[in-house]
A and B are shown apart, each in its own frame.
Chain A
Amino acid sequence: MTLSSSPPPLELPPERISAFARARSLWQSAGMLALYVLLFIACSLLFPNFLSWYNMGSLAQLIIIVGIVSCGMLFCLAAADFDLSVGSVAAFSGIVAVVVVNHTNSVALGILGGLAAGAAVGLVNGFVVAALGINALIATLATMQIVRGLAYIASHNTSIGAIDTGGRFHILFGKAVLLHVPTPVWLMIGCFIVCGFLFHSTTFGRNTLAIGGNIEAARLAGVATARTKILVFTLQGTLAGLAGIVGASQSGLGDPHASIGLELQVIAACVLGGVSLTGGIGTILAVIAGTLIMGTVQNAMDLNGVDTNKQYLVSGGILLAAVLFDKLKQKWT
């Protein structure tokens, strides 16, 4: 062996990725979306009134709120955290938006107010989790209660109607249509695109995944872990606020009882799509697929007149199946 300052030359094995590995990676990135296409085709064939413009509208209504909030939950779950406060934040932001609209007669200010309220709660969540080191489950369980309480107090425990001139707040996301598609659907698509870009094409998204994969290694690699986590929760709060505004606009009401249980629907949608509960794994496609599957199953049940009470059984069953699926997938890979 000669003395040399560079490592001995080694033959690099060629890029040999087996067909199996290729199939696996394809399955992981788009498998659930393919599954959804199958589900969609099956529903179209089985239920005659499923594939209609009217029913697509109902389906969209079912998934808008969950879809918007899921975008933020993707970041939380990828960082190996949760946010249980999103349902409360949505209700609170909706009330704030309506109250501001009623006081100022300005829809823009109302939206800004609702978003600010959501962002503020998210910031607090992030600070408590990242800077004070409290477990996210506990921290956001606490803010979930606190913010729901704030919603009751701010609304005096009743729904507040939006009373701006011309009912513009109600029209904005409740009735308005752009290119034959309701405005909130565009909004949801916009969230998917923006959050997908943030998640996959920025250092913020990459660092979020790194934190979920191994927070100590990420810190020692120079990732600003606390700042990134605070940003993640603030984003989640803002999106929950946005979802709340959409909800309030659709009903024309700031309702303190709105979005109860939303957090679990959202987490279930993410996990169903393939976002890992243990952090470090997730894609925006998974979130889209999960949201669509959840919504379509519910829509199919509605169409067939399945009793609302029984729908809970199905939703719970799907959640269980999703978690099992996540576990199996981890075992397999």
Chain B
Amino acid sequence: MPDAPHNLRFHSISKSFPGVRALADVSFDVAGGSVHALMGENGAGKSTLLKVLSGVYRPDTGELLIDGQPAAFGSTSAALAAGVSVIYQELHLVPELSVAENLFLGHMHAAGGVVRFPAMRAAARALLSSLGESISPRAKISSLPIAQRQMVEIAKALTRNARVIAFDEPTSSLSDREVDRLFAVINRLRHEGRVILYVTHRMDEVYRLCDAATVLRDGRHVQTFPSLKGVPPGDLVARMVGRSIADVFRYTPRPHASNPNAIDVKDISGKGVHTPASFSVARGEILGIFGLVGAGRSELLKILFGATPARSGQIFIHGKPVHITSPRSAIRNGLVLCPEDRKKEGIIPIRSVMENLNISGRRHFSPLGFLINPARERQNADTFVKKLAVKTPSLKQLISNLSGGNQQKVILARWLSENIRVILLDEPTRGIDIGAKSEIYSIIYNLASQGIGVVAVSSELPEVMGISDRVLVMRQGALVADIPRNSPDFTPQNLLQHALPVAIHAIQGAA
């Protein structure tokens, strides 16, 4: 490595896609020998910028300068050759090849087309051990845990002698210890004078690892902080969302204590819900359900909605017993579900916004129950797109072209076209950026204030505490706690304590 640190300059980069301005005149400098955070909500332009950097996209205007030299990449291989490596969340390794082969993919040690495995393995071993890893060069990638695969990806960048290394949310699937090791490696890369871009959503990581930060919003450069010393986290968030974090939830108490129940669940059990579960939700109440992944939260909602069969139990809606055998019968009883995995279970990607919105509610305005009335379809879709402020260029737009938040609004609109009494929300804001989150919360509050019973499952503690009037905790297929908002037990520690199987000390350590 040369002693002088490298540097990278984005110079008025713009990139448009049909109907979207993904990057607009973005300029900033990234100094080598430091870790530079790239921050912004989903859709702010971070991914597009990384793809411009790695040569996947060619910018419409502007240029990249590495060490002062213009670098115009038309392809990913050109970017690699120029010393730019981007390490994506989804790693680009060949699972059935060995570690050594992956490290030198595209430039293997070879003589006359025959791979010289011993030399290549020795080089691989040396490189990995310099990163403090003892991974065997012979191991297949598919046999390695994610953290080690990531190290292989970093080592791969080093075989290319990368001047610029960009990380795209590298810690999303790592344990705390693995994060420590990753950061140690990144620190080493920093000391070697390389340019390091670090994309993350997590504020704690920014302050722990990064020296500088750039915030993007709506494809524009908002601000670059050359040093993060003395910059409060609130400032960064405010730059990212254009508002402060306290405004995200905007919870207001709604009187519902004297309301009759919207739904009573008695001894429901089924796949994933081992202990019969009973609870009630008043009209206008927002009930949060918190639990770790695999605690049975989503399974409980799916049983209530009739998507998976119930083994036992009974459901009453507005006091009357209902017999739910399928999602269809649940909907006809005024009980609906917004599923967790929007892509797989919520949207029909290759159909339009209008089609996705009207798929259920059209039965209320279809002549003879089966004819399509195009005018009413358009009118209904238009009403809800306006009401929920869905950002879409037209009703005919494919729903898959919308952002996550707008897709979720279309799903909510689908149910608002029905006459609903209870709505089940499974991770209502997963994969949605902060700005859109608070819009979704507003819609949820609005539903509750209309007397609809709301059940919201979330694995994000701030969210579940931020929006719920009362929280149920699930653990290993059973409901284990019922904590109202005004109770002294309504604390993050307490909720986590109930959610974790054992090892209470572990939580206290984490908290």
Chain A contact residues, CB within 8 Å of chain B:
1, 3-10, 12-13, 15-18, 20-21, 25, 200-207, 209-210, 213-214, 216-224, 280-281
Interface centre among B307, B388, B393, by most chain A C-beta atoms within 10 angstroms, is B393
Chain A residues near B243 (CB, 8 Å)?
A: 1
Query: CB within 8 A of B370: which of A25, A203, A214?
Result: A203
Return the chain B residue nearest A18 by Cβ.
B18
Contact B393 A7 (CB under 8 A): no
Least CB distance, A298 to chain B, in whole angstroms: 32
A–B Cβ pairs within 8 angstroms, 21 of them? A5-B446, A5-B449, A7-B388, A8-B442, A12-B385, A202-B372, A203-B363, A203-B366, A203-B371, A205-B372, A207-B359, A210-B348, A214-B344, A217-B347, A218-B348, A220-B337, A220-B339, A223-B360, A224-B328, A280-B348, A280-B351
Return the chain B residue nearest A9 by Cβ.
B389
Query: CB within 8 A of A202: which of B350, B371, B391, B394?
Result: B371
Contact A281 B371 (CB under 8 A): no
5 closest Cβ pairs, A-B complex:
A213-B348, A10-B389, A222-B331, A1-B247, A7-B439
Contact code string B360-381 (vs A, CB < 8 Å = 1, else 0): 1011001001111000000000
Residue B167 lies at the interface, judged by CB distance under 8 Å to chain A: no
Chain B residues near A6 (CB, 8 Å)?
A: 442, 446
Least CB distance, B286 to chain A, in whole angstroms: 13
Contact B247 A222 (CB under 8 A): no
Least CB distance, B467 to chain A, in whole angstroms: 13
Chain B residues near A219 (CB, 8 Å)?
A: 307, 326-327
Q: Whole-angstrom distance between the alpha carbons of A209 and B339 in the complex?
A: 20
Chain B contact residues, CB within 8 Å of chain A:
18-19, 243, 247, 250, 252, 305, 307, 326-328, 330-332, 337, 339, 344-351, 355, 359-360, 362-363, 366, 369-372, 385-386, 388-389, 391, 393-394, 396, 414, 439, 442-443, 445-446, 449
Contact A12 B389 (CB under 8 A): yes
Q: Whole-angstrom distance between the alpha carbons of A124 and B250 in the complex?
A: 56
Contact A222 B360 (CB under 8 A): yes
Chain A residues near B439 (CB, 8 Å)?
A: 7-8
Contact A281 B348 (CB under 8 A): no
Are A223 and B359 CB-contacts (below 8 A) given A13-B391, A214-B348, A217-B348?
Answer: yes
Return the chain B residue nearest A21 by Cβ.
B18
Q: Whole-angstrom distance between the alpha carbons of A223 and B328 in the complex?
A: 7
Are A217 and B442 CB-contacts (below 8 A) given A3-B252, A222-B331?
Answer: no
Chain B residues near A280 (CB, 8 Å)?
A: 348, 350-351
Return the chain A residue nearest B414 by Cβ.
A221
Q: Whole-angstrom distance between the alpha carbons of A223 and B326 in the complex?
A: 10
Q: Whole-angstrom distance between the alpha carbons of A82 and B443 in the complex?
A: 42
Contact A217 B346 (CB under 8 A): yes
Q: Whole-angstrom distance between the alpha carbons of A209 and B352 in the complex?
A: 11
Query: CB within 8 A of A12: which of B347, B369, B391?
Result: B391
Chain B residues near A214 (CB, 8 Å)?
A: 344, 347-349
Q: Whole-angstrom distance between the alpha carbons of A216 and B305 in the complex?
A: 14
Chain B residues near A12 (CB, 8 Å)?
A: 385-386, 389, 391
Chain B residues near A206 (CB, 8 Å)?
A: 355, 359, 362, 372
Q: Whole-angstrom distance between the alpha carbons of A190 and B142 in the complex?
A: 57
